[in-house]
Structure 1
Amino acid sequence: MRPSRFVLYSLLPLFAACQVWTPKSADLQSATRQQGEITRQGNTLLFTPCNEQRRFSIEDSGNTGIAREAANLFRDGGKVLFADMRGTFSGSSASGTDGKLGVDKLFRLQREGFGCDDPNFKRLIVRAGGNEPGWSVMVNSQGLLVQRPGQPQLALPYVVESLPDGSSSYSSEADGEKLELWVAPAHCVNDMSGTLSNLSATLHLQGQVMRGCAYPGAASGD
């Protein structure tokens, strides 16, 4: 299968006038992408969707390792975690909850960072970032934005190539800048924050190779 390839030219507005993404309501028997908070009650993980009061016990129906990953983050001092995942709700659960969430895919799990109130998430295709040196890239349908401490922001058009294995390349040679961002399915943990993501990331920029993690945004179709 040949990789898909298309060019995106428009850059304005890139990340302006964004609206906060609202997950679909927790409808029973519907597999949806959900974001919200995870807490512990004994040995049970409880999930509260963003902007809701209902609580659902978590079942790892997709063998995502969410219990192990959450335990690691709780062990490092977290009491409430932010989760971005896909799953199916049902009404069958232990007493004291509003049902059960069977998780089949885990996009992100974190103690800190962008959570329910991320204004860019609705339009994001992917967000990537890393440490030492610090860097971040946001990609949407109109362009990509590169941010680095002490450096001017770069807003560029890009070409994307998507491969059958789920990896993608976002590249640009506009405005005298040569850039390529590769993201690929992987268990990726930020070595400073402990945030777990489901994509690894490699950024080639100005002769440097910078590595980090990434996750898909709401506009990715995941």
Structure 2
Amino acid sequence: MRFSRPFCLALLPLLASCQVFTDKPTETAPTQSRLQGELSLNAGQLRFRPCQEQRQFVVEDAGANGLSRDVAGLLADGSGSLYVDMRGQLQASPQKDVDGKFILSQVYRLQAEGPGCGDINFARTLLRASGHEPDWNIAVSNQGLVLHRPGQEPQALPYLEEQLPEGRLNLSSEANGQRLELWVAKQRCVDSMSGAVQHLSAELRLNDQVLRGCGYLGGARND
């Protein structure tokens, strides 16, 4: 039997569609969420309550993040709970007195002091870094960079950002007769005064002065 050429051409889209439907479905990565809230210890378990919520989740850390160790250190002074900013996956849990479990993958910040859930600037912040001896604090948003130092007026400066390998960043500004460079890298960092744990190490070069500290990405930017 012979088929006409138009009939053969009509079969081509059907054959192509068969090929599409026989391909294996692609696997999607588990969805992760970045959440902020209150972290506490309850009968040896880490319990997490997101900001402005009543739900509670058991936090599971495989050990690479060292969260249990950091929590124990910060709670040693008698504090009842800590503020935490972290990323992970929410899952169901068979445990009856919780709403699920949180499989931890990244800790951005863990602290006993500060505004915590009440920080109204967090959602607009791209990056914050600070250090001591002498004290300094830098807040970065889409509007620019603001340098805070004790006894001086805050300085709002334009800046250039350079993204480097391994998640490192360089922010630079040259204005008002001074040069500023802020270098941050993905490295666990502990604040020398408060003991707060942050996920970035920071180095501020201000003219000829080199100052070191810690930093974290704000709510307006994820890594």
Query: Same fold per TM (> 0.5)?
Result: yes
- The offset of 1:38, in angstroms, is 0.6
Tell me: CA distance 1:93–1:157, structure 2 relative to 1, closer, same or farther (3 Å): farther
Residue in 2 that maps onto 1:191: 192
Gaps of 5+ in 2: 1-29
| Equivalent residue runs for 1:107-126 within 5 Å | 107-126=108-127
Residue in 2 that maps onto 1:219: 220
Tell me: CA distance 1:44–1:209, structure 2 relative to 1, closer, same or farther (3 Å): same
- The offset of 1:216, in angstroms, is 0.3
SS at match of 1:71: helix
Gaps of 5+ in 1: 1-28
Q: Confirm or deny that 1:205 pairs with 2:206.
A: yes
Letter of the 2:185 counterpart: A
Letter of the 2:180 counterpart: L
CA contact (8 A) 1:62 1:105 kept: no
RMSD, aligned CA: 1.3
Tell me: CA distance 1:86–1:62, structure 2 relative to 1, closer, same or farther (3 Å): farther
- The offset of 1:132, in angstroms, is 1.2
Tell me: CA distance 1:155–1:44, structure 2 relative to 1, closer, same or farther (3 Å): same
Residue in 1 that maps onto 2:25: none
Q: How many residues align?
A: 194
Moved over 4 A (4+): none
Residue in 2 that maps onto 1:180: 181
Which one has a larger percent helix, Structure 1 or Structure 2?
2
TM-score by length of structure 1 reads 0.84
Distance 1:30 1:116 in 2: 23
Identity of aligned residues (%): 48
SS at match of 2:165: coil
- The offset of 1:78, in angstroms, is 2.1
Residue in 2 that maps onto 1:83: 84
Residue in 1 that maps onto 2:149: 148
Distance 2:187 2:218 in 1: 16
TM-score by length of structure 2 reads 0.83
Distance 1:200 1:71 in 2: 22
Deviation per CA, 1:99-135: give whole Å up to 9, x if none: 1111110000010114111111111111000111111
Identify which of structures 1 and 2 has the higher relative contact order when contacts are C-alpha pairs closer than 8 Å and 6+ apart. Answer: 1
- The offset of 1:191, in angstroms, is 1.2
Deviation per CA, 1:3-61: give whole Å up to 9, x if none: xxxxxxxxxxxxxxxxxxxxxxxxxx641100000111111010000000011111014
Larger Rg: 2
SS at match of 2:78: coil
- The offset of 1:152, in angstroms, is 1.6
- The offset of 1:142, in angstroms, is 2.1
Deviation per CA, 1:163-188: give whole Å up to 9, x if none: 11111010001222210011111110
Residue in 2 that maps onto 1:31: 32
| Equivalent residue runs for 1:156-167 within 5 Å | 156-167=157-168
- The offset of 1:77, in angstroms, is 2.7
SS at match of 1:73: helix
